[in-house]
Structure 1
Amino acid sequence: MRTTLSRLLITIAVMVVTLAGMVSQAAAFEVIAVPEGINALNLAAGVDILEGEDGRVQLSTAPGDDGIIRRIEVVAVDPEADPNFAAFALRNEGDAQIERLLVAPFFRLPGSGVFLPDLGGARVNALTPSQGLRPARVPDREADVFEIVLDPGATVTLVAELAGDDLPELYLWEPDAYRDYVNSFTLFRGTVLGISSLAAVFLTIMFVVKGRGVFPATAALAWAVLAYLLVDFGILGQLLGTGNQAVQTWRAAAEAGLAITLFAFLFIYLNLHRWHIRFTHLALGLSAIFLALLGYAFIDPVIAAGIARTSLALIGLLGLFLIALLSIRGYDRAILLVPTWVIYLAWLAYAWMVVTGQVSNDVAQSAVAGGLVLIVMLLGFTAIQHAFSDGQVSIGALSEVERRALALTGSGDFVFDWNIDRDRVNVSDELATRLGERKGALRGAIKRWLDRIHPEDRDRFRTALDTLVELKRGKVNSDIRVAGFDGNYRTFKMRVKPVLGSDSQVIRIVGTLHDVTDERAARERLLHDAVHDSLTGLPNRQLLLDRLERALMRSREFDEVKPAVFLIDIDKFTDIDERIGHMAADSVVLGISRRLSRLLRPLDTLARVSGDQFAVILLSEQSASQIAEVAEQLRKALRTPFNFGDRDLSLTASIGITIYDNRPVSAEDVLRDAELAMHYAKRHGGDRIEAFRAATRSIAVYAQAMEDDLEQALDNGDLQLLYQPIVDMHNEAVVGAEALMRWNHPERGPVSPSAFIPLAERTGQIEKLGRLAFEQAAEQTRTWMNEPGLGERFFVSVNLSAGQLTSESLLADIRGLMREYRGVARHMKLEVTESQIMSNPEHAVYMLKAFKELGLGLALDDFGTGYSSLAYLHRFPFDTLKLPSAFVQIHDDASMSHTQVPIISSVVALARDLDIGLIAEGVETAEEAERLKSLNCRYAQGYIYGAPMPADELRRKLNGKG
């Protein structure tokens, strides 16, 4: 009883499992009936891909005619590989046994993809049937082929162990039909390979023979196509001995080679390196990328092939753009390439349809290969055609006349031929085109040609030709101007010589005309720019002196009119420049030049001799009153306000006048006299006119001597620093010193700083003077740093002038000195006045912060004398304020003395609140010192504590011996 029950339960379980298998496989398997009379059957739609587990797969077979579903297990050839499996079912519905070939191609271009293409490979490792004989593998170099046998009425489930993850294509072939299919492409492939090989060899030979750069590029493309065909036709795998299932790397490399060589051909054939240097840089960069792509094909062939296929399309589009652009410009190489490139673009479109699966017939892959060969042949023919068309001018021997004609054509000159007997002029048709005339319009009698020549050149032209005819020898080399159709003249260099006939008479005059219009215009422009101001177009100083020298010469030798010279200097133009900007100031200068020009006559000369200085050579007036009247008109013209945007800008000018008195002087001397008179006018407040006086010249001589002496003193180091001590009034200890430059002239004695410092600024020597002062102070500070007992807070302050603070080289000089004198920065301060920083606050902020970063201290001198100290004080990194002597010294005026105490008290409080040191200057009496101490002002300098003294004397004072 128990045994019967157990068997019943087992039977029910088997039926349930069998029924479940039948249901699941009925849904999974679509049994494919194998028809008779069909050569090939595509099985891809009926294949199911199954994932293996531990190197095996279990599945239920498709139901047979009896409806029974069986359970089978298939074990992989190498169980550790754990491959995927493909399952499909075939049924023989006929009454006879069927033999078929199951074909899984290693590679098929149709549907392989663009970006991550399927490069092929082994497809099926083994094939297992659910019943019947095991399929036998048939050797084939392009596919995994198995021979299967289907019995009449049998349904067989086949399980294929896959070499990869998928099975893209699977065909069931009638054996004889498959052999005919393979053989049908043998002839085609052989023909294509032969043509491709011949093209590659022929183009290589052409390179050796012709030596043109386009042939190796074309030959390289032909060899790349041949390599691709060897891979695609399954020949390279056999040659390498690896089989065509393992050529993915070589396939990717071949496709990369196509992209590389096609790009190289396009670049070299179109001569892109001649159009712009950047094309060469771009080509070198892309070539490096392509070569890297070729190497990457041996690392990741799938990605390399995707990039190569994309590159072929991009090269096609780039080539279309370049060829179209250059063809429009008439570049013959691009025009010759148009038909071939159109075919290449059509090939690209067809290849895209093939690889994306839109075209998947049997001939698609072969058509793509054949198209490649056709493109290579067309490119080769194009290269050959252009190479030989370029060489036509050099094929064969040339006569001397032909060689000269070619040389003349290449030079770009125009032929000029005057037949004297027939009085007919013949010229090149290109000359008529250059002049805007129709062809033949310049041919005819010499009189017609003479009418076209510029009136100023006609006599010279006529005389030159008549001389050649009379002398029967010689040659003419001169410039003539010929009128064009629009009436404008072009300049030609004419080179002609006579030709003698048998009777030794001149029968014609022949030569060339070379267009030099642009060269002559450029030369005239350079000559004009050399002697004229670039902004106003007025004569510059050089041309002014030349004209003045000629006027002086005429006045001396021919007793002609005596020139009067004005030098006009705009007052305070530098301030205007800083206020409105350089561009606006240039507009003002241009307006000034136009106003002055309108007041002068053609005989007179107006020149711009410097940024804000103008000079006038007046020849139109002779009497002193008339000259003064002209000068007054010029001054009033400048006083009339200039409209500048929404406001008016008023100017004044200082005008110096000198009238030539026939003395033997140079133009430089006359202009200098006018300049001296101008400076005299400026010293008296400006906006005035001054005539030159002899006494002014002596002042100028003295000033020039002072300039020379100052320059010599700077070179010889005759200027020395003195040091005025700065003391702590609580204990009268010396805490610092102010360095003051002094000049003891060997003849004139001591020269006041108020005299030589402005002189240095005016002559441009202030930078050298400032560097000398700072260098001497830094050297002395370094010496004092080694003195025993010197306080850590001891400092030396050095004054900066206005010219130094605006100098571009000041910061670089101080940085260099700080590198040379290391460690002295913490013991040095730079003193600047409030007026200096307020003239250009933004630049001052930048400079002072840079000095602060170097470790230097900063002191604001003459604090409180300006109008905006408190408003701007927080912007500048000062650590010390210096109270000027005007607030410190006691005055007899009671009202002024009454206001000094609140001012000093306020400044002391301000310095304390801002944590800034305060030094009172000009302390001369004990009463002044006591008052400062009572107001909590700690530091002071002045004659009560010591006058400026040499460094040795201050050292003794520091050591307590002074």
Structure 2
Amino acid sequence: MSFKTVIAAVTAFLVCVLAAVAPASALEPVSVTNDVDAIDLSPAVQFYSTQGDRIQIQTAPGPDGIVRRIEVRAKEAGANPNWIGFALANTTDEQIDRILVAPHFRLVGSGLVWPDLGASRIADITPSQGFRPEREDANDADVFRITLDPGSRITFVAELRTAKLPQLYLWDPDAYKDKINSLTLYKGIVMGIAGLLALFLTIAFVVKGTAMFPAAAALAWAVLAYLAIDFGFLHKILAIQADGDRTWRAGAEAIFSATLLVFLFAYLNLNRWHVRYSYVLAAWLVALCALVGLAVVDAPVAAGVARISIATLAAVGLLIIIYLAAYGYDRAVMLIPTWTLLLAWVVAAGMTITGHLTNDLVQPALTGGLVLVVMLIGFTVMQHAFAGGAFAPGLMSDTERKALALTGSGDIVWDWDVPADKIYVSPEADQLLAVKRGTLDGPASRWLELVHVLDRDRFRTALDAVIDQRRGRVSQDFRIRSGDGHYRWLSLKARPVVGSDGEVVRCVGVIADVTEQKTAQERLLHDAVHDNLTGLPNRELFMDRLEAALAFARQAPEARPALILLDIDRYKKINDSVGLAVGDSILLTVARRLSRLLKPRDSVARISGDQFGLIVMSEHDPAQISAFAETIRRTLRTPVAVADREIFLTASIGVVLIDGEGGIRAEEALKDAEIAMYHAKKHGGDRIEVFRPAMRSDQPDRLALEADLRRAIERDEIKVLYQPIVRLEDRTIAGFEALVRWDHPRLGRMSPRDFIPVAEDSGLIVDLGLSVLDKTTRQLVTWQRLVESDPPIFASVNVSSRQLLRHDLIHDLKGVLSRSAVAPGSLKLEITESLVMENPEYAAQMLIQVRDLGAGLSMDDFGTGYSSLAYLQRFPFDTIKIDQSFVRQNGSGARPVILRSIIAMAHDLGMDVVAEGAETDADAAELFALGCEYAQGYAFGEPMTAEEARRLIAGPVRLRA
């Protein structure tokens, strides 16, 4: 193989390697002529990236058409820079000198997130031929002078310091100089305006230190600082390096956002509207101040957050301004045009940094627009300051200040010229009273004609007093007639003015309209002694009138007043069934009916709830008073029409005939009427009872009864009796129902109907129920040990509403069951239908927990309440007790048909049935035939003691004939 063949093979191999490293296509040269001042080279630039400190690229074809390859090394060995390449062609016959310009910062396309904040772009430029371009000094761009020989085609390879090259222009030196000079002039004008504006607002802040002035001044200084950085003036002052202004630019944008936020907050005085705005401001400012520190570490991140903050503040600020302007806030209304222009500037800036606006004039226009926005903000602040007289502090005299205070108070000036006897009032008084202008001006006698007759003497006396005594003050509230004939309350406060001769020459003061205050006072006084529903006198006013009637009876023995107290029967049930609104309508109807029956000397009041009291002074004969009470009873029986239904009312009425010689007090008379009224209710209601002294012995003192009951529970004096429940299949004892009895030391044995309500109202029912539950459980254990049966003997204990609705019921039941080892399910809690339906959701939860503890559940008096089958399936009852009204035979000797249905339904639900009210053997046999498992009644025995019950369970039960 020859030497030439080897050389050819090596050359071919190197060409293949280089082709793999560099692009295959050659650069297209850009034609440069003398008649073009500037050429944008950005579209002709090709970017290259290498893995080392050198690059080889193909040149543009030379004049001879040959494409060559050049290799360029980086300025620093071992570096890995980015590269660009472009080619220029001089198609003229003259040598051309041009300026290659790559700006450090360009707002167009800089970006919103991690923006490009500028830096030196080109480190060095290497031509394919000729001399290396010379770098010229410039603070805001990389500038190189390039010389192109006639007819030459030169490829330039530039080493980049950054990955981005925002723009690359080829300028004619003279044209570029003219552009720099014009921009410098423009920048100088803009900077001068911004500086003067900042200085002016600072002086305004010194003169008037309101919050809006320092905020506006700070915003102006922030804009001035940003312009100094953007225009390159800061480089000349601080000698900043080419890449150092990135930190300053990011910090300036963060400070601009912070000052704009402070201005909006201070100008609109947002802390006046809500304190939360202060918290938002504080958090926002802390974040922006942190951005200033972040700019030193990571300038692009800080600038990106600051730009987002400016856009957010412009949008949110406009919404706040429009919202406050809608409520008539003057400051917000004045700021709308300026802030709208600011928002437009932000939109334009956003379109610029995202690359949607690319014109070279956009960036200078935005800087000028920013100064214009700040200028308008300054004008807005000054306009508000001049409109509010902010630049006239300390120039107001004391007299002017008092006049302004009087105008601000809204009071009316009242001036009485005493020697001339002429009164002058402000025109506002004529408008207030709806009279012609000048009606109130004139002598004092004209005023006295308009003053209410009841206030006239008092008003005249007050004026005469200050004139005679030559000192003091007038402070009077009086009524004066308005143009429509109604009276308004005015309050006059005036002082006399004494002349040099010691006589009163004027009496000057102010008048205020106090009609609303007087009306409110009268309303409060009325409401204090009247019922707010019916408008009738309440208990306090009624007792006062009753005391007055009794005093009158003591002075005039022939006057025998009567006290009538009535209570609507079953009102609580009516109210529960028809609702509170209809219940109130019923009370209003009763009040109107009673009011129509009264004569002028009589009085009616709503004592409390559904109780009404009447004082009858027009009748003295007991027979007439009784007839009047009967009229009341019949009147109340008239049905009340509500919607499409009629409600029939009855009342229990108590009457007290008062003898003036008895010396009875109002409280005692009312108590006697209550005794008579409760006596009528006790006998079925819808009746009239005249009080007799013997009734007092029939009414046990409720407080004393409560105290006796409390002692009886503490001393364990409450007895528990047990009524048998028989299994009808074999007539053996299946269980017992626990019943409480109380042998009162004075009143004898009391029925549960007499003391259970007292126990429920006083809260003693909880202790009483727990005591009965504990005694029954211990006794049940004894019975179960005595007789073993399957199922075991059970015991039922009644539960009241106060016990069921207590959260401690589960805890109490758990304690009772843990102390006594009864068979599961043998201790049954009896609960009535109506009690469960008071709160079905809560009752269902409680009953499930009771069942889970091992106690049985029996629904008592089934059929007398709601009898809701839907709820019956939800409640975990295992036994139903049928009320005796369904067990007893009707007038034809047959039992109610529904009895068979109830028993069948209970069996379908898996429940046992206990029938109450079995009185004979025939009852027991028929109940067993119907499928009833258990029965309870006097046929099997009356309530008995625990010992009697123990003897009874040993053998079969003998039924009564």
TM-score relative to the length of structure 1:
0.79
Relative to structure 1, the CA distance from residue 376 to residue 675 in structure 2 (aligned partners, 3 Å threshold; closer, same or farther) is same
Deviation at 1:317, TM superposition (A): 1.9
Contact kept, 8 Å, 1:926 with 1:944, in 2: the verdict is: no
Aligned match of 2:692: 693
Instruction: Give 3-state SS (helix, strand or coil) of 1:606's partner.
Output: strand
Residues 566-715 of structure 1: pairs in structure 2 closer than 5 A? 566-624=564-622, 626-662=624-660, 663-701=662-700, 705-710=704-709, 713=712
Aligned match of 2:809: 814
Equivalent position to 1:466, from 464, 467, 472: 464
Q: For 1:144 and 1:735, how far apart are their aligned partners in 2?
A: 111
Contact kept, 8 Å, 1:721 with 1:739, in 2: the verdict is: no
Aligned match of 1:751: 750
Q: For 1:782 and 1:701, how far apart are their aligned partners in 2?
A: 34
Deviation at 1:418, TM superposition (A): 0.4
Instruction: Give 3-state SS (helix, strand or coil) of 1:512's partner.
Output: strand
Moved more, 256-265 or 854-863: 854-863
Deviation at 1:419, TM superposition (A): 0.3
Q: For 1:743 and 1:80, how far apart are their aligned partners in 2?
A: 110
Q: For 1:75 and 1:198, how far apart are their aligned partners in 2?
A: 51
Instruction: Give 3-state SS (helix, strand or coil) of 1:651's partner.
Output: coil
Aligned match of 2:959: none
Instruction: Give 3-state SS (helix, strand or coil) of 2:227's partner.
Output: helix
TM-score relative to the length of structure 2:
0.79
Relative to structure 1, the CA distance from residue 200 to residue 652 in structure 2 (aligned partners, 3 Å threshold; closer, same or farther) is same
Instruction: Give 3-state SS (helix, strand or coil) of 1:221's partner.
Output: helix
Q: For 1:95 and 1:796, how far apart are their aligned partners in 2?
A: 128
Residues 267-346 of structure 1: pairs in structure 2 closer than 5 A? 267-277=265-275, 279-280=277-278, 283=281, 300-301=301-302, 303-315=304-316, 317-318=318-319, 320-321=321-322, 324-325=325-326, 328=328, 331=330, 333-334=331-332, 337=335, 341=339, 344=342
Aligned match of 2:417: 419
Q: For 1:783 and 1:53, how far apart are their aligned partners in 2?
A: 100
Q: For 1:823 and 1:118, how far apart are their aligned partners in 2?
A: 80
Contact kept, 8 Å, 1:90 with 1:157, in 2: the verdict is: yes
Aligned match of 1:960: none
1:807-851 CA deviation, whole Å, 9 max, x = no partner? xxx333436758999967997967243343465363564563575
Equivalent position to 1:769, from 759, 765, 773: 765
How many residues align? The count is 937
Relative to structure 1, the CA distance from residue 449 to residue 731 in structure 2 (aligned partners, 3 Å threshold; closer, same or farther) is same
Structure 2's unaligned 5+ residue stretches are 954-961
Q: For 1:96 and 1:745, how far apart are their aligned partners in 2?
A: 137
Q: For 1:192 and 1:820, how far apart are their aligned partners in 2?
A: 89
Counterpart residue identity of residue 806, structure 2: L
Instruction: Give 3-state SS (helix, strand or coil) of 2:524's partner.
Output: helix
1:91-147 CA deviation, whole Å, 9 max, x = no partner? 222223333232222222345466785544454455454444444444533223333
Relative to structure 1, the CA distance from residue 133 to residue 637 in structure 2 (aligned partners, 3 Å threshold; closer, same or farther) is farther
Residues 861-940 of structure 1: pairs in structure 2 closer than 5 A? 861-862=859-860, 864=862, 866=864, 871-872=869-870, 874-881=872-879, 883=881, 910=906, 914=909
Instruction: Give 3-state SS (helix, strand or coil) of 2:87's partner.
Output: strand
Relative to structure 1, the CA distance from residue 180 to residue 584 in structure 2 (aligned partners, 3 Å threshold; closer, same or farther) is same
Instruction: Give 3-state SS (helix, strand or coil) of 1:443's partner.
Output: coil
Deviation at 1:321, TM superposition (A): 1.4
Contact kept, 8 Å, 1:921 with 1:941, in 2: the verdict is: yes
Deviation at 1:542, TM superposition (A): 1.8
Relative to structure 1, the CA distance from residue 637 to residue 395 in structure 2 (aligned partners, 3 Å threshold; closer, same or farther) is same
Moved more, 893-902 or 127-136: 893-902
Contact kept, 8 Å, 1:919 with 1:941, in 2: the verdict is: no
Q: For 1:135 and 1:733, how far apart are their aligned partners in 2?
A: 126
Q: For 2:886 and 2:340, how far apart are their aligned partners in 1?
A: 95
Aligned match of 2:96: 98
Deviation at 1:421, TM superposition (A): 1.6
Moved more, 853-862 or 665-674: 853-862
Equivalent position to 1:251, from 249, 252, 259: 249
Counterpart residue identity of residue 482, structure 1: I
Residues 923-962 of structure 1: pairs in structure 2 closer than 5 A? 947-949=944-946
1:350-396 CA deviation, whole Å, 9 max, x = no partner? 65675566766655434433444454466457657766856678515
Contact kept, 8 Å, 2:212 with 2:381, in 1: the verdict is: yes
Relative to structure 1, the CA distance from residue 359 to residue 437 in structure 2 (aligned partners, 3 Å threshold; closer, same or farther) is farther
Q: For 1:35 and 1:465, how far apart are their aligned partners in 2?
A: 105
Contact kept, 8 Å, 1:496 with 1:509, in 2: the verdict is: yes
Contact kept, 8 Å, 1:259 with 1:311, in 2: the verdict is: no
Q: For 1:901 and 1:319, how far apart are their aligned partners in 2?
A: 73
Contact kept, 8 Å, 2:873 with 2:909, in 1: the verdict is: no
Q: For 1:500 and 1:357, how far apart are their aligned partners in 2?
A: 82
Relative to structure 1, the CA distance from residue 853 to residue 839 in structure 2 (aligned partners, 3 Å threshold; closer, same or farther) is closer
Instruction: Give 3-state SS (helix, strand or coil) of 2:699's partner.
Output: helix
Moved more, 490-499 or 409-418: 409-418
Instruction: Give 3-state SS (helix, strand or coil) of 2:807's partner.
Output: helix
1:474-522 CA deviation, whole Å, 9 max, x = no partner? 4332211234555554322222233333333332222222333332222
Relative to structure 1, the CA distance from residue 417 to residue 947 in structure 2 (aligned partners, 3 Å threshold; closer, same or farther) is same
Q: Kindly indicate whether residue 525 of structure 2 is the aligned counterpart of residue 519 of structure 1.
A: no
Structure 1's unaligned 5+ residue stretches are 958-962
Instruction: Give 3-state SS (helix, strand or coil) of 2:478's partner.
Output: strand
Deviation at 1:248, TM superposition (A): 4.7
Counterpart residue identity of residue 698, structure 1: S
Deviation at 1:150, TM superposition (A): 2.3
Contact kept, 8 Å, 2:652 with 2:681, in 1: the verdict is: yes
Q: For 1:476 and 1:678, how far apart are their aligned partners in 2?
A: 56
Relative to structure 1, the CA distance from residue 343 to residue 139 in structure 2 (aligned partners, 3 Å threshold; closer, same or farther) is same
Instruction: Give 3-state SS (helix, strand or coil) of 1:811's partner.
Output: coil
Q: For 2:313 and 2:173, how far apart are their aligned partners in 1?
A: 38
Relative to structure 1, the CA distance from residue 138 to residue 514 in structure 2 (aligned partners, 3 Å threshold; closer, same or farther) is same
Instruction: Give 3-state SS (helix, strand or coil) of 1:102's partner.
Output: strand
Q: For 1:303 and 1:9, how far apart are their aligned partners in 2?
A: 56
Contact kept, 8 Å, 2:229 with 2:245, in 1: the verdict is: yes
Q: For 2:244 and 2:816, how far apart are their aligned partners in 1?
A: 75
1:211-248 CA deviation, whole Å, 9 max, x = no partner? 54334433442443344334423466788987454655
Moved more, 789-798 or 32-41: 789-798
Aligned match of 2:33: 35
Deviation at 1:757, TM superposition (A): 0.7
Q: For 1:946 and 1:597, how far apart are their aligned partners in 2?
A: 52
Moved more, 879-888 or 99-108: 879-888
Q: For 2:694 and 2:639, how far apart are their aligned partners in 1?
A: 35
Q: For 1:732 and 1:294, how far apart are their aligned partners in 2?
A: 97
Contact kept, 8 Å, 1:18 with 1:69, in 2: the verdict is: no
Instruction: Give 3-state SS (helix, strand or coil) of 1:510's partner.
Output: strand
Aligned match of 2:452: 454
